[in-house]
Chains A and B, each alone.
Chain A
Amino acid sequence: MSLLGRRSKCLSPPTIVYINMLNPDTKPNPKIFEEDIEMAPTRDGYGLGLVEAGERNKNVVALCADLTESTRAESFAKKFPERFFEVGVAEQNMATIAAGLGVSGKIPFISSYATFSPGRNWEQIRTTISYNDSNVKIAGHHAGISVGPDGATHQALEDIATMRVMANMQVWVPCDAIEARKATVAAAKIWGPIYLRFGREKTPVFTTEKTPFLPGKAEVFWSPKGKADVLIAGCGSLLYNALLAARELEKEKIHVYVLNSHTVKPLDEHRILLLAKKAGAVVTVEEHQITGGLGGAVAELLARRAPMPMEFVGMENMFGESGSPKELIKKYNMDVRDIVHAVKKVIKRK
């Protein structure tokens, strides 16, 4: 009896303390750290956002390369059949047809798996969308290792890098289904080529409708009361792991910022620099190769403006394999414990 009492005493007050580290301005899901937090894949947000964008603007059109259901372009196709074009298994054709639509007053969204688009059609995107300045939105689905059992052929781990190096291309990586919906709707309103990255697996929906989302503006999701030791900048659904890691670290009196860097390009340089300088060390977290993605972008910024110790959580120059998403995230060192480890490691290097 007394033991139980002591346990509950020990557990509940710290929980409140941790929750307080969440930035209330970001209006997170109140169930953010509960077992029964809502789960949904970011691709679901894309599907909803695409329909919403289509309702708001009749010039929004969608194309898909034989993956209409799994990329969630299906609802748009059903609601606006005349504005939906099935191109078959032909990603190069999809990108280039979209390029023609995009210079003709339409706002095309192209959907496929990221390994195929922007994987297979990279040159077409470069020449006919980016350089040609066509108003095309590229939705890369099944990105990251959490694609799971399909294996490495279908796990896009290079797409942020290959899109980020392209002039006149923005790169957005929403962290959950709600943010994915907002990003899709916002992309239709902004002129120019944008790459949007989505995942296959159900992941925690930890933002809410009220959470601010402004393209190009990173949001602080977790902020200690006093001085922070490390800035964790993340994008995509792994940002949730970063928050769990922040909570673990707080228990050990290690204080971190967790920044939602959903817009990898253009990077919110101002906010990243501000927080990085305050903390004096940075860890980046993404379901992507540790070179060329968000980590690369942040490293380039810090090298130019404020060199400091940095660690990267992501794929370390390897291909994935089949397995459950959870197993893969663990095996390839992108789990909560790996983020905790990276934070401790970077602190030692300060």
Chain B
Amino acid sequence: MEGLHEEKTKYLEEMGNVLREDVIKMLVEAGSGHSAGPLGMADIFATMYFHILSHNPKKPEWPERDRLVLSNGHICPIQYAALARAGYFKLEELMTLRKLNSRLQGHPHRKSLPGVETTSGPLGSGLSQAIGMALAAKLDHARKRIYCLMSDGEHQEGNTWEAVMFAGKNRLSNLTAILDRNNIQIDGYTEEIMPLEPLKAKYEAFNWHVLEIDGHNPEELVDAVAEAIAIFEKPTMIIAHTIPGKGVSFMERKYEWHGKPPNKEEAAKALRELRTLGDRIKSEHQ
């Protein structure tokens, strides 16, 4: 993976917002789906698909490709947008999200759409599947890397911690997990529903290498992934602090927007905001 130069960083930041616009359009057309998570993860998806991943949209089955496992399947609109923008399928198809006969299922299905590496939706089982892929890569002496994108809420699932334990025990250094730490879940704030902190200390206790980044900063993600690639004795967890609903002021940090789509008026307002953002998505402290 190459480092980032200024121009590429700007491109990724802009791409993040292009994906956000796609997501708003898709959700309003679908009439159901999740808003906050996909918007919050837009910059990470842009950086993954347009810089970090070794993949070929024209050959989605290329065996040596890196794998991106989306564990929290409900944020799939952002993955679909990234896949379409990367060239896996035509942009028009994005508007079929959640409709009859569409390849863009409400929660992702591996067999439906090229580029989708696993079927997910029920939470807490993505990291284990990524582990399976990482084990297979090790058995095959393959150099591909496995990335697992996870939510914070799914750390309330027992299956998640079973996976964390296994990856630590087996020192799966070809596995990198990225945690969308946006602090919300359907019923409220994670720390109210079922506290997860201290997440960093927990992962470290399970023998993981842990990094924390601003999830809206492509440079920080690229740096963290570069560090993960250089760590040979442990899997790496990148805790990405994100703002749910990022880019749309009336959705930001509101758990009420976890599981619902914008209506037409809200969508128009959201798109107006996003169009004026350009590359100015970085968090204030950057």
- Most chain A C-beta atoms within 10 Å of own C-beta, residue among B69, B140, B163: B163
**B36 CB to nearest A CB, Å:** 23
Flag whether B139 is at the interface (Cβ < 8 A): yes
Beta-carbon contact of A132 and B119 below 8 Å:
yes
Beta-carbon contact of A102 and B165 below 8 Å:
no
Beta-carbon contact of A100 and B158 below 8 Å:
no
Question: Which 6 residue pairs of A and B lie closest in terms of their CB atoms, listed nearest first?
Answer: A100-B132, A96-B128, A104-B136, A93-B162, A100-B129, A132-B119
Beyond the given pairs A96-B159, A103-B117, A124-B122, 4 more chain A to chain B contacts, judged by CB atoms under 8 angstroms and listed by A's residue number, are A83-B139, A87-B162, A96-B128, A133-B110
User: Cβ of B132: which chain A residues have Cβ within 8 Å of it?
Assistant: 96-104, 106, 108
Task: From the candidates A83, A88, A90, A100, name the one contacting B118 in the complex (CB within 8 A).
Answer: A100
Beta-carbon contact of B120 and A127 below 8 Å:
yes
A-B contact pairs, 17 of them (CB 8 A): A88-B165, A90-B162, A90-B166, A92-B125, A93-B163, A96-B125, A97-B129, A97-B166, A99-B118, A100-B128, A101-B135, A104-B133, A104-B137, A128-B125, A131-B119, A132-B111, A132-B119
Q: For chain B residues 240-276, which have a beta carbon within 8 Å of chain A?
A: none
- Most chain A C-beta atoms within 10 Å of own C-beta, residue among B129, B130, B139, B162: B129
User: Cβ of A82: which chain B residues have Cβ within 8 Å of it?
Assistant: 139
Beta-carbon contact of B140 and A97 below 8 Å:
no
**B142 CB to nearest A CB, Å:** 9
- Most chain A C-beta atoms within 10 Å of own C-beta, residue among B109, B162, B163: B162
Flag whether B121 is at the interface (Cβ < 8 A): yes
User: Cβ of A98: which chain B residues have Cβ within 8 Å of it?
Assistant: 132
Closest A residue to B146 using CB positions: A100
Beta-carbon contact of B133 and A103 below 8 Å:
yes
Question: What's the Cα separation between A105 and B135 when bound, in Å?
Answer: 11
Question: What's the Cα separation between A92 and B131 when bound, in Å?
Answer: 13
Flag whether A18 is at the interface (Cβ < 8 A): no
Flag whether A61 is at the interface (Cβ < 8 A): yes
Q: State the total of A-B contacts with C-beta under 8 angstroms.
A: 100
Beta-carbon contact of A124 and B159 below 8 Å:
yes
Q: Which residues of B contact A (CB under 8 A)?
A: 63, 69, 109-111, 117-122, 124-125, 128-137, 139-140, 158-159, 162-163, 165-166, 170
A124-B159, A128-B119, A133-B111 known; A100-B166 Cβ under 8 A: no
Beta-carbon contact of A105 and B136 below 8 Å:
yes
**B173 CB to nearest A CB, Å:** 16
Flag whether A33 is at the interface (Cβ < 8 A): no
User: Cβ of B133: which chain A residues have Cβ within 8 Å of it?
Assistant: 100-101, 103-104
Beta-carbon contact of A96 and B129 below 8 Å:
yes
Flag whether A85 is at the interface (Cβ < 8 A): yes
A127-B121, A131-B119 known; A100-B131 Cβ under 8 A: yes
Task: From the candidates B136, B140, B166, name the one contacting A93 in the complex (CB within 8 A).
Answer: B166
Question: What's the Cα separation between A97 and B159 when bound, in Å?
Answer: 10
